[in-house]
Structure 1
Amino acid sequence: MVMVAGCGGAYYLYQHFNNNLTSVKVDVGSEEERPKAAGDALNILVLGTDSRQGLGREYGDEGSTGHADTTLLFHLAKDRSNATVISIPRDLMVPIPDCQSADGKTRIPGTARDMFNNSLGQSGRDPGCTWKTVEKVTGIRVDHFVEVNFEAVKTLSTAVGGVEVCAAKDIDDKDSHLKMSKGRHVVQGDEALAFVRTRHAVGFGGDLTRIPLQQQFISSMIRKIKSGDTLTSPTKLYKLADAATKALTVDSGIGSVDKLKDLATDISKVDTKNITFATVPVLDDPKDKDRLILKQPDAGQLFSMIANDRSLTDTPAPAAPADTPAAAAPATTAPTATAAPVDPKDVRVTVRNGSGTRGQSGPTVEKLKAKGFAKAAVASDAPAAATTTITHAPGQEAEAAALAAALGLPADAAEADPKADPRGPLLLVLGKDALGATSGPQQPPSEAPKDLQRVQADDTDVCAK
């Protein structure tokens, strides 16, 4: 009887939580238009809307349609060792592509330059339009989206028994209704919502000031959910699952309790110290002091790291099995030479074009010279080649590795030719994979931009200033 009752209860809960969920199907364009996926890595778009529908006049703009007020792109590494969460400011000026209305019957024209938060709600745009906008701006493949509103912040913070936050000074914000003394506080419900909405009484008073507060709040909530106090309490777990499934709108790809549970399990594998929150690097828009533009090349550097599954935290690579020879592990990028450092200005390189497209050697030589390979030179075209290769004489391994690293080529692109003159130049043959070779093959960055705003999820000393 106990077993039957238990199974019946589990089925009831499963149906209950499934019925709580709201899932929608969105149009994100054809595969040809979208960035390539990063293997088993996952990118979840989290949309915090400022919809006031059903909330009366308490928060102003009664009944207004929700826009992309708070947007987070949550990147989960393919080996689940780390996660990166980037905040996209709502005032960022971006191109918004053509979109389809929620019912799929109406085309909504895109705009060449618009506020990011208008990618949702404005002119009937749905989360699929924000999804497409993020992919277009960042070059990062999005896998799923999760949408939350004001009520979600209130119910989720209450379900976990409150979230600890910190204020570095007294805060009295009449717009968000937050009145908080200096120090640490546990907030939930309306006070939690007021904390993540406040901006006029902290920092410079804008959206960029509010973002670190939101990152602090979410980091603290993650710590609270992962704590034994929450995970070992059936009552708290039920309240959290009930609140979450009622609060979330998700895409149809994760529109069931089973799929959300699998996603939560993946996220739970990441150590809190390896979850990094950061804000997309931006500058004031020279055309409008109240708007922002991407700060380049910093923003592109951050986007490239995420698109190529590079971590913002130092996480050790998974250990190889004990019976696996070290030499059997394939290298994905050129190794650093263990011999004396190579000075690029002393390395002679001959560049031949085998890409099948004329005029590719010259730009590659210019790129190499910009990287210090002053003795790079153009030679006659080579027969057509599928891949880019480096040929060198025995004893020139360090020079070849340095050249491969400069071009972002894999280690096996360099090959020794026993007949090559050890006093001669390295031979670089551009293949079809050079993609036009106007800038040469690119290696994903391994370090984040300098001065990147960031918050570590395990940092308990972050306070609103």
Structure 2
Amino acid sequence: MPRMSGDEHQAHPADGSAAPPYGPARVRRARRSPRSRALRYLTWSALGLVLAGAGGTAYAWQHLDGNIKGTDVDAALGDDRPGAQHDGSMNILLLGSDSRAGTHGQYGKGVAGARADTAMVLHVDKSHKKASVVSIPRDTMVERPRCATGHGSTAPAAHEAMFNSSYEVGGPACTVKTVENMSGLRMDHYLEVDFEGFQKLIDELGGVDVTTHRAIHDPASGLSLDAGRHTLKGKQALELVRTRHGVADGSDLGRIQLQQAFMKALIHRADTVDPLGHPGKAYDLADTATKTISADSGLASTDKLLGLGKDLKGISPARTDMVTLPVTYDAQDAGRVLPLETASHRVWDALRHDRPVPASATHDSVAARTDSPVSASS
């Protein structure tokens, strides 16, 4: 079967020769990052304290509640799924997309070419005190399962399809099904952030501080930054998390490192906002954030998100481990990567048994030679 098309291909060594010198892909959040209250701000403290500061009126609650778009993933996927884990652990698929189309059960053509450019599996351990994040490169060639399009038709299964084509074909439910198919793990929830709303949120925060260790110039995303410290407003922040051509080998592996580094910087910035001291600003942020979020029907309300935030409040950055799915370059297509079967199995098996991902599982991955040129500014 012909390989599915995606973004323009980027040349990098497919035969393993002259591989560029990259750093380790295994990235642990810096210990100097904000403690768990920064994480709670986005999903718990912000909404809870904003509502308290606004008087907790029913209108305010209903308004924020109505912002969140939901998809009934359970109904879309039925019973043909991995079994749920009953040990108290939890798996959440985190997506960053360029469109919110399709979040009312309309997939396929209704998605209008939308793609999930960012995909991470967040595993919360049974104690809810530790977490592991596995980033899945969008250029990964996978076995995409048969998926409903949301228009009464079905997209056939595809052999060696690009991972992010699952969203284009069948929306978030198909992406959930694809992740479950490749990992053997049931996704308890999914959360999606729309890039357009992301840009507005960064502007309302007043920008996010990052440090570039070398210049980044990417004509494709529009990003142009000299080495040094920068305060990125919404447009530049969006350019950064979408940049791939100006870093590393031009594949998605370098972009993943940029995204992980920016996540740390965003947590740093969010930690400076005082919802009680600036209730009006905090409400605007919460309003924008909830407009930016799509979720499965089990999370698509403010009270359910608040509950999730409470569940996650004990997880500190130092207890969150971030890795990239072990992959190798596709010898048949220089712009794509293939999962390392044995190593990937070890990653998913660790999550299935509620254990940390062993460092040795990612040792032979080409992602282990990718180093981020960006860090959060202290």
Specify the alignment match of 1:109 in structure 2.
156
Specify the alignment match of 1:80 in structure 2.
128
Distance in 2 separating the partners of 1:213 and 1:161: 20
Specify the alignment match of 1:11 in structure 2.
58
**Are the equivalent residues in 1 in contact too, given 2:265–2:376 (CA < 8 A)?**
no
| Paired letter, 2:145 | P
- Where 2:318 maps in the other structure, the secondary structure is helix
User: Normalized against structure 1, the TM-score is what?
Assistant: 0.61
CA 1:451/1:242 → structure 2, altered by over 3 Å: closer, same or farther?
farther
Q: Per-residue displacement from partner, 1:26-54 (whole Å, max 9, x unpaired)?
A: 3453445324425221211112123498x
**Are the equivalent residues in 1 in contact too, given 2:134–2:324 (CA < 8 A)?**
yes
Output aligned runs, 1:54-453, within 5 Å: 65-103=113-151, 105-122=152-169, 125-227=170-272, 229=274, 233-312=278-357, 448-450=361-363
Distance in 2 separating the partners of 1:12 and 1:83: 35
**Are the equivalent residues in 1 in contact too, given 2:325–2:362 (CA < 8 A)?**
no
**Are the equivalent residues in 2 in contact too, given 1:281–1:452 (CA < 8 A)?**
yes
User: Normalized against structure 2, the TM-score is what?
Assistant: 0.74
- Where 1:121 maps in the other structure, the secondary structure is helix
**Are the equivalent residues in 1 in contact too, given 2:327–2:338 (CA < 8 A)?**
yes
Larger Rg: 1
| Paired letter, 2:97 | T
| Paired letter, 1:296 | E
| Paired letter, 2:160 | R
Q: Per-residue displacement from partner, 1:179-202 (whole Å, max 9, x unpaired)?
A: 212112221211110111112111
CA 1:452/1:291 → structure 2, altered by over 3 Å: closer, same or farther?
closer
Distance in 1 separating the partners of 2:53 and 2:260: 39
1:151: Cα distance to partner?
Answer: 0.8
Distance in 2 separating the partners of 1:309 and 1:190: 38
1:254: Cα distance to partner?
Answer: 0.8
**Are the equivalent residues in 2 in contact too, given 1:162–1:186 (CA < 8 A)?**
yes
CA 1:70/1:291 → structure 2, altered by over 3 Å: closer, same or farther?
same
Identity of aligned residues (%): 37
Distance in 2 separating the partners of 1:268 and 1:226: 14
| Paired letter, 1:205 | G
**Are the equivalent residues in 1 in contact too, given 2:223–2:236 (CA < 8 A)?**
yes
Distance in 2 separating the partners of 1:137 and 1:152: 30
Q: Which has the higher contact order (CA 8 A, sep 6+)?
A: 2
| Paired letter, 1:224 | R
| Structure 1 residue corresponding to 2:97, chosen from 41, 44, 49 | 49
1:70: Cα distance to partner?
Answer: 1.3
| Paired letter, 1:113 | E
1:463: Cα distance to partner?
Answer: 7.3
Distance in 1 separating the partners of 2:321 and 2:131: 6
CA 1:189/1:130 → structure 2, altered by over 3 Å: closer, same or farther?
same
Q: Per-residue displacement from partner, 1:345-383 (whole Å, max 9, x unpaired)?
A: xxxxxxxxxxxxxxxxxxxxxxxxxxxxxxxxxxxxxxx
Distance in 2 separating the partners of 1:94 and 1:38: 28
**Are the equivalent residues in 2 in contact too, given 1:277–1:454 (CA < 8 A)?**
no
CA 1:261/1:75 → structure 2, altered by over 3 Å: closer, same or farther?
same
- Where 2:57 maps in the other structure, the secondary structure is helix
Distance in 1 separating the partners of 2:82 and 2:187: 9
Specify the alignment match of 1:404 in structure 2.
none
| Paired letter, 1:128 | A
Specify the alignment match of 2:35 in structure 1.
none
Distance in 2 separating the partners of 1:232 and 1:448: 46
Distance in 1 separating the partners of 2:140 and 2:360: 24
Specify the alignment match of 1:462 in structure 2.
375
Distance in 1 separating the partners of 2:226 and 2:359: 41
Distance in 2 separating the partners of 1:447 and 1:292: 19
1:20 aligns with 2:70: no
1:460: Cα distance to partner?
Answer: 12
1:233: Cα distance to partner?
Answer: 4.2
Specify the alignment match of 1:414 in structure 2.
none
1:239: Cα distance to partner?
Answer: 2.6
- Where 1:220 maps in the other structure, the secondary structure is helix
1:79: Cα distance to partner?
Answer: 1.0
Distance in 2 separating the partners of 1:38 and 1:293: 31
What root-mean-square deviation, in Å, do the aligned CA atoms of Structure 1 and Structure 2 show?
3.0
1:69: Cα distance to partner?
Answer: 1.7
| Paired letter, 1:201 | G
